[in-house]
Each structure stands twice: as C-alpha cells, then as structure tokens.
Amino acid sequence: MLPIYKKELQSFFFTPFAYTITALFLLLFTFTISTDIATLTDNVARFSFTEIFYNTIIYFIFLLPILTMRTFADERKFGTEVLLMTSPVSVLKIVIAKFLANMTVFLFMIAGSVIYPIITEIKGEVVYSQLICAYIGFFFWGAMFIAVGMLISSFTENSIIAAIIGELIMFMFLFLDDFSQSGFISQYPKLRSVLYSFAAQPRFIYFSQGFIRLSDIVFFITATIVLLAWTYISIEKRRWKRG
C-alpha cells in the first residue's frame, strides 16, 4: 500500500498540480478574509472562522473534484489500471492508499491558511474554540467529499466528466437541507426528515460555531467509509470482469 501512496504523492507534488491547486485555494481564502475584514464595524478583528470557512466550502466544491477527478479515471484512460489491478496489492489497499494521498494534498492546502489566525492574533483576537472546531469540521467535511470524488472517478475514464459530476453531487449535499425545507418537500414530513438527516451543511455549522457533537463526527466518518466501500466495490467489480 505504501508504494502506491508514494506514487500518488509523486504525481501530485513532483508536478505543479498540488502547488497550483493550493495557490488557488489560498487566493480564494485570502479573498474571503479580505471581504470579511472590509465589512468589520469594530476596530478589533475577531477571527472566528464561522463565515470564512462556510464561504470557503463553496470554493472547495470546485477544487476538490479537480483534486480527485484523476484518481481512477486516468488509470483507465492511460491503460495503467491493468497493471494496478494485477499487482499483489489488494483493491482495498489501493483505494485506501489513493484516499490517503488525496487527503495529504487536502491537508497541505488548508495548512497554508494557518498563517491567517496567527496574523489575526497579532492584530486582533482569535476565538480559539471556533477556530479549532472549524478546522476539525473542515477536515471531516473534506474527507467525505474526497470520498465522493473518488467514487465518481471510479465510474469513468474521462476526468473532466468525473469533475463535473462530482461538483453536482457536492452541491446537492451542500444544499440538501434547503431542499428538504422547500414547500414541496415540506408536504411529506417523513421524506423531509430523511433528506435532512443526510444534509452536511447543518452539521458543519455546528463545528464552525465551536461545537463538537458526536453525532456529526459519526455522520462524516460513516459517510466517508460507505463511499470508500462503494468505490472498492466499483473497482473490484471491474477487476472480476477483466478476469
């Protein structure tokens, strides 16, 4: 599993890919912070991350599918999937290795944002409870959506299609709570309750406000595991078809 993990990291960090997507994230993150500071009514900047991380989620819906779109799609496109599937490493370990590689890049992306609360501490006040909880929530949120992107990538050899479908599904998860409270769905309380239980946005809001609930952690971990399991089944099914 370790050689595949290293191979994936090399494909990210030995090319401009990881640095480009990280620079783009930091650019968008900086823009969000600048906008937030511009609307301050107090001379003291209170860095709570509540609005900043929430707004950053929208940007990540475009960035994470770009990160995950090549995970399995390029393996099929360039014919390297055969070598991967015939290797002594199990499909489960392949999926886990690729997931960990994507998570490593994700952590590399958000690590650069740590500089902002440091600067804020010098010039203002940092609300550490919200800051830490927001990072924890952002980690779990990113893990779930990386698993979504990997699952979509396992279905196609076209990385662009994988990215587009991934974005659509991530948008669906993000606004599922709004949809569940719409006038039409409100007519069916049981359906509304089921849809709302799968909504990720309300759960992240608790993290951004400085609260850690066990139910929210269980939701993100369970969703990530289920999505990775589906990815494993998708790859394993294709492996058996190849004989």
How far is 79 from 75, CA to CA, in rounded Å? Answer: 6
Q: What is the CA radius of gyration of the chain?
A: 19
How far is 150 from 70, CA to CA, in rounded Å? Answer: 8
pLDDT on residue 221:
94
Cβ-based neighbours of 110, under 8 Å, separated by 6 or more: 25, 135, 138, 139, 142
Tell whether the torsion through CA atoms of 62, 65, 67 and 70 is positive or negative: negative
Pick from 97-106, 129-138, 189-198, 228-237: least confident: 189-198
Instruction: Give pLDDT tens digits for 25-73.
Output: 888 888 877 776 666 655 555 545 666 776 777 777 888 888 888 888 8
DSSP 27: H
pLDDT on residue 76:
76
How far is 180 from 186, CA to CA, in rounded Å? Answer: 7
User: In this structure, are residues 54 and 139 in contact, taking their beta carbons and an 8 Å threshold?
Assistant: no
User: In this structure, are residues 28 and 113 in contact, taking their beta carbons and an 8 Å threshold?
Assistant: no
The answer, yes or no, to whether residue 157 has pLDDT greater than 90, is no
The answer, yes or no, to whether residue 238 has pLDDT greater than 90, is no
How far is 196 from 9, CA to CA, in rounded Å? Answer: 36
Instruction: Give pLDDT tens digits for 111-149.
Output: 888 888 887 777 777 777 788 888 888 899 899 999 999
Q: Which residue has the higher pLDDT, 4 or 177?
A: 4
What pTM was computed for the model? Answer: 0.86
